Structure 1
Amino acid sequence: MTDEARRALARQRTVEITTTGRRSGRLRRIETWRYRAADRYWLTGSPGSRDWYANVLAHPGFTLHLDGLDLQVRGRAVTDPEERARVFGEIVPGLGWAGSLESWIAGSPLVEIELD
C-alpha cells in the first residue's frame, strides 16, 4: 500500500466499498464506516444485519474506495467474542449515539480490512 493510500485511509472515516454479491455475483457499491482500533482498520455499523457483511463473508476480496483511490483489499470477519469485545471496546465508547457496548458485540458486523 502506498503512503498516499495510508494517509487517505487514516483520515477518511466514511468510505465506499464494492463487494461481490453473495448470490448474484454482481458488484455492489455502498457507503459504510471505517474505524481504527488496535492499530488496525475495521468496517462496522450499528447492530443489525448488513448485505455488505454477508457479501464479504462469501467473497472476502473487495474494493475500498478512498479519495479517488481504488484499493483491492480482503476482509476478515471477526466472530470470536473476545476479539469482538476488545475491538468494540475501543470503538463504541467514542460514539455518543451508539447505545450499549454489549449490543454492538452481540449484533454488529465487524470486519478487519486486510491491506497487504
Structure 2
Amino acid sequence: MVDFIAPFLIIFLSIYGLLFKKHIISKIIALDVLNTGIVFLFVVIASKIGNAPPLKGSGNYVDPFPQAVIITSIVIGFATISLLLSITMIVVEKKRKKDLNEIEKE
C-alpha cells in the first residue's frame, strides 16, 4: 500500500500545477509531470514478483504487455510535450506575453 503513495502524490501535485499556475511553461511542465506520475502509477500496479521472461512452462513470469503500453505512453507524452512547446513558442512570440490570463484577454 505504501507503493501507491508516491505516484498519487506526483499526480496531485501536477494537477495543482495545472489548475493554479498561470505561466505557460509551468503548465507544460506540470503536464509532463502528470504523464510521469501516471506512468509511475501504472508501473507500480503492473509490477509482479516474477522476474522470468514470458516463456511457456515458466509459472512466475513478467507480463510484457504493460511494458509495451508504458513505452508507447512515454513516446506519446514526449510527442505531446514537443508539440505543446512548439505551439507555445509561436504564441509567446506573437503575443509577447507568457501569462495565460493576459493572453486570453486579447
Relative to the length of structure 1, the TM-score reads 0.24
Structure holding more strand per residue: 1
Structure holding more helix per residue: 2
The one of the two structures with greater contact order (alpha-carbon pairs below 8 A, sep at least 6) is 1
Relative to the length of structure 2, the TM-score reads 0.26
The structure with more radius of gyration: 2
